[in-house]
């Protein structure tokens, strides 16, 4: 079962007030129903969503939806068809769908925060999808048919500081969220509390894993840098030893050369500690770097003189 289905199966069990049920049912029908003069039809593969719509219609209008099931050749899952044939004018007027189905809902349907949450819940049940954070990038989308509905949802999401975006699709409009924190907030807003816990656990794990990878990459880069630096120092030392010889060099330079040859892969910080410890003479990383700079200058002079 997909993560989207798990979220939907959780939120269909939420108990609403009457005004919240009106907001949720309006959002669901305007984004998934087929409306004619004789009926309102809803098609879904999710049995729990079918039961949810049946329940909302029953509680709000004291009528029963006609439910039929069928099975397609391509899919073993049942298809549920809900048909509302009674009180159509009252229902459409109540749900702000009587004259202009694709116009934004009337303000009374989303007049407070609880109703706005219920509306978003209904939209997600109708046309929402969400990637499983464990297997894909963070992405939540609401695919609606009308531009007016997309604009309304964008503003509604912004009221919760979710920063929703709209993308024009070949068919319809996609209102989407990409930020993990915003998606988690959306799930919290529609009261998908178990999904929030799952999502946050995965997000924390992924963030921790990414941090470890970044640290490992940084550490490996530092190791590579140390090796490259040491290699260049050893090459310079080899030139000095084959041209001038160790005895011709300053005593401090001789010490640095001996310890670099002794510890060919250590960093300057480690090498300065080793020299200080073994010789009893304190030398800092900066001091050690200065002596290697002197070695490079000697090698440069040798190359210019063609020795």
> CB under 8 Å to 154, separation ≥6 — which residues?
164, 165, 166, 175
**pTM for this predicted structure:** 0.70
101 — pLDDT class (breaks 50, 70, 90):
low
Architecture of the domain made up of 3-191: Roll (3.10)
Q: Which long-range contacts (CB under 8 A, 24 or more apart) does 103-108 make?
A: 103/148, 104/148, 104/149, 104/151, 104/152, 105/23, 105/26, 105/27, 105/30, 105/152
Per-residue HEC secondary structure of 157-210 comes to HHHCCCCCEEEECCCCEEEEECCHHHHHHHHHHCCCHHHHHHHHHHHHHHHHHH
Tens-place pLDDT, residues 125-167: 999 999 988 876 889 999 998 899 999 999 999 999 999 999 9
Alpha-carbon distance of 27 to 158, in angstroms, equals 17
Structure tokens at 5: 């289905």
- Write down the residue that tokens 């919240």 correspond to: 20
Alpha-carbon distance of 235 to 248, in angstroms, equals 18
* Domain definitions of the chain by residue range: 3-191, 222-305
3-state helix, strand, coil in the chain (%, to 5): 60, 10, 25
pLDDT at 233 over 90: no
User: Which of 42-56, 96-110, 191-205, 262-276 reaches the highest mean pLDDT?
Assistant: 42-56
Q: Which long-range contacts (CB under 8 A, 24 or more apart) does 258-265 make?
A: 260/230, 260/233, 260/234, 261/234, 261/237, 264/230, 264/234, 265/226, 265/227, 265/230
If one counts every other C-beta atom within 10 angstroms of the C-beta of residue 159, the result is 10
The residue with greater pLDDT, 253 or 206, is 253
Alpha carbon dihedral 35, 120, 129, 150, in 10-degree steps, equals 70
Q: Sort 125 into a burial class: Cβ within 10 Å, 0-12 / 13-18 / 19+.
A: buried
* 101 in Cβ contact with 7 (< 8 Å): no
Alpha-carbon distance of 181 to 101, in angstroms, equals 33
Alpha-carbon distance of 243 to 293, in angstroms, equals 18
Tens-place pLDDT, residues 190-209: 999 999 999 888 888 777 76
Q: What's the pLDDT score for residue 16?
A: 93
Residue 253 CA, distance from chain mean position: 54
pLDDT above 70 as % of the chain = 95
307 — pLDDT class (breaks 50, 70, 90):
low
């Amino acid at each position: 079962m997909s993560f989207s289905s798990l979220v939907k199966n959780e939120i269909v069990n939420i108990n609403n007030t009457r005004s919240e049920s009106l907001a949720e049912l309006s959002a669901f029908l305007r984004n998934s129903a087929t409306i004619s003069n004789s009926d309102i039809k809803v098609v879904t593969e999710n049995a729990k969503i079918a039961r949810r719509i049946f329940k909302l219609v029953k509680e709000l209008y004291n009528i029963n939806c006609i439910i039929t099931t069928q099975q397609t050749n391509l899919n073993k899952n049942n298809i549920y068809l809900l048909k509302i044939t009674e009180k159509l004018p009252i229902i459409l007027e109540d749900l702000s769908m009587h004259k202009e189905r694709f116009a934004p809902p009337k303000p009374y349907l989303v007049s407070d925060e609880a109703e706005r949450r219920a509306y978003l819940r209904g939209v997600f049940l109708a046309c929402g999808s969400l990637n499983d954070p464990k297997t894909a990038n963070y992405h939540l989308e609401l695919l609606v048919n009308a531009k007016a509905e997309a604009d309304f949802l964008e503003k509604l999401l912004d009221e919760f500081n979710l920063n929703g975006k709209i993308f024009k699709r070949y068919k319809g409009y996609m209102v989407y969220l990409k930020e993990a924190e915003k998606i988690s907030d959306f799930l919290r807003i529609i009261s998908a509390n178990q999904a929030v816990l799952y999502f946050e656990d995965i997000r924390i794990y992924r963030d921790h894993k990414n941090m470890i990878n970044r640290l490992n990459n940084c550490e490996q880069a530092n190791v590579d840098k140390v090796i490259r630096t040491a290699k260049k120092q050893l090459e310079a030392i080899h030139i000095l030893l084959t041209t001038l010889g160790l005895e011709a060099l300053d005593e401090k330079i001789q010490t640095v050369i001996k310890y670099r040859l002794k510890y060919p892969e250590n960093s300057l910080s480690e090498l300065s500690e080793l020299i200080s410890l073994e010789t009893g003479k304190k030398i800092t990383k900066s001091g050690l770097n200065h002596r290697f700079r002197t070695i490079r200058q000697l090698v440069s002079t040798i190359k210019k003189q063609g020795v």
